[in-house]
Structure 1
C-alpha cells in the first residue's frame, strides 16, 4: 500500500473494524455452567449455529441466509422456538433425529447442506443441551422460503436414496490408546465443529471425499485448504500451544484467518474454552501429514513470460505494497509478513487474489482486538493482478508457481 493511500486505508480500516466488531449475531456465549441451557449455548457457539442460521440484519437463528452451491441455493431454516415458523413444536427426540439421522419430524430426509453427517457424531446429552438452549432464545415469526435447487437436486424424495448410499449415523468411540485431549479434539473437529464440511472437497452428489489426501473445497469463492497438508492449512508443524492460540486469535506472525474462516473465528472459535482449543489443536496436529495435490491446474508460463511477470510484479509491489508489507515481504506495523506466508503460496491462488481485489480483515478477537485492515485494490487488470501475485509467490524464499489472469477467473 503506497503512502498516498494512507488516509483512505485508515478510513477503510476503521469502517471495516466497526463492521467486524458490531454484527448482530456476534454475542459472547455464557461460559459453560451447570445448567443444560448454559451448556447448550456454549455448544451452539462451538457449532457456529448462528453463522448459517442468521441472515444479514436478521434476528439470530431465524434463518433466511442464502447459501449458493453447485447444486443451487440453499436457504437456511428458522431454528428459533417459534411454533409456526421455527422448531417450537419439536420434541427432544425430533431434534435428536434431525441432528443424528438427518430426518425431519415428518420423517422426510434433510439435505446434507445441514452438516448432520458430522453432527451424527455428537452425543445425545449434548444434543439435548443444544435443544434446551434453542428453546430459550427469542422466537422469530420468520417464514423462510424453500430452497432454490437445480434439477434433480430439488426432489427431496431422492435424499432417502442418497442417505442409504452415502450416510451412516453413528457416534465416535474414544480410542483408549490416545489421550483424553486427543479424543476430545476429534469429537469437536469431526462432530459439532464440522471442520471437514468446508475443508474437504465434495463429489458430484454432494458427498465428502473420504481419501486422506482429498483436496480442499471452494466456499463462497474462497478456497478452504485441506487440513492434512501442512503446506496449506495443516497444523502438524505447529506447537499445540501456538496452534490453539491461532485457532482462538485468528492471527499469527505468518498466518491470518481471512474470508469465510475469519467469520468462523469471530463467531465461534474465539469463544472456545482454552481446554477445547488445546484439544482441537492436539487432534489437528496429529493428523498424518499429506502432500495434497491441488485440483487447480495453473497455466504454465514460458521463461520469457515468467521474467516479464516478475518484472511487472516487482514494480507494482514497490508502488502499492512495500510500504506496509516491507521491501522484502517481512511485514510490519500490523501488516502480515508475505515471506514464508503459506496463504500466498497455496497451489490455488484465488485467496490472495480475493484479498487484493476486495481487501479484508483478520477477525477481531481478544488476542487481536484491532486487526490490521487490507484496503481493496480494484484498479488492477487481470494481467497486472497475476503479475503482482506471481512476484509475491516467487520472492523472498517463496517458491510457488507463477499465475496468469486466466487462473484468477472463477
Structure 2
C-alpha cells in the first residue's frame, strides 16, 4: 500500500486541496454582483437563498468528485457513455460558452484593475489579463498552480471579508431584514440567486484536479467531501460578505446598482462612509476574485474540452491512460488559447445579439443537464453499490434539477419575449 492508497497516512490529507480551485473559480465577479444586488434590494433577507445554493452546488460538485473517485473515470467519460449526443452537446456548449465567458471574465478583471489604476487604458487590461492567465496555466505544474491560487484566495479573504467586518456596526437598523422571507415578486430572483452561487460548468473540472492531487479510489471519497465542503464554505462566506456590505451601505438609500459596475459603487461608498483604505481593499478583492476565475477556468474547463475531443474522435479509449497526459494534448492548449484570444473580438467589435441569445439559452440548459446526468450515472451499475447515491444526495440532485429546469423555463421565456 502506497502513501496515496491510505488517505489517513497522506500528509496532504487536509482541507487545502483541489477545493481551493473550486472556490477560486466559483467565486467570481458574477457572485459578487449577485450578493451586491441582493443586499441593496432586500437587506439581509436572502442570506437563506445563498445557503441553499451552497448546499445544492456542493451536492453537484460532490457528485462529480465521487463519480471520478468511485469509477476512475472522468465526468466527460460518464457523459459520453450516455450517448454521443450528450458529449456532442457538451462540446458545442463549451465552445460557445468559452467564447463569451472569456470576454466577460477579462472585462471583470479590467474593470477592477482600471478602478485601482485608471491611468492605464482599459483595453490594455482586457488584453493583458487573459494572456497572463494563459501563461500561468500553460507554464506551471499543478502543484505550482495550486500555490498561486492559494495566494489569491488568501488575498480575497483579507480584503473582501476584512472589509465586511468593518461594516458590521452599520447593520443595527436593518438586522431585522435577516429574517428569511420571499418578498412579493422576488421568486425568480431568489431562484436565480440559489442557482447562480458557486459556479456552473467549472465545477465539472473537479475530478481532474483530484487526479492532479493524486487523490484516487473510493477510499478518498470522505477526503473529497471535506475538500468540496471547504470550497463551498469559502464561496458562501464571500457572497454573504457582499450581502452584508451592500445591505449596510446601500439598502434603503434608493441607490440603483446592478451588475459589476455596481461593485465600483459599493467600493466608493466603503471609502466615503468608512475609510478610503477600504475602497482599495475591496477593489483588490474584486480584482483577485475576477482573476482567479480566469485562472481556474482556463486551467479546469480546458481539461473538459480536451477530454471531450479525445472521446468524440476516438483518440482516447482507455480511461486509465489520460489523466497525466490530458494537459499535454493539442486540444487542451487550443482551448486555453480559445478562451484567451477570440473573446477579445467581442470587446473590440461588440457582442452580436444572436451569440448572446444562444449563449443564454445554452447556459440555462447546462446545469439541469449536469444534475440529471449525475442522477443517472450515480444510480447506475457504472458505480459500485457502496458508492452510489443515497436518499440525501438523490434528493439534493432532484431539487437541483427541478430548480435549474425552472430557471431554464424562465430564461427561455425571457429570450422569446
Q: TM-score, normalised by structure 1?
A: 0.23
More strand by share: 1
Q: Which has the larger radius of gyration?
A: 1
Q: Which of 1 and 2 has higher RCO (CA within 8 Å, sep 6+)? A: 2
- Larger helix proportion of the pair: 2
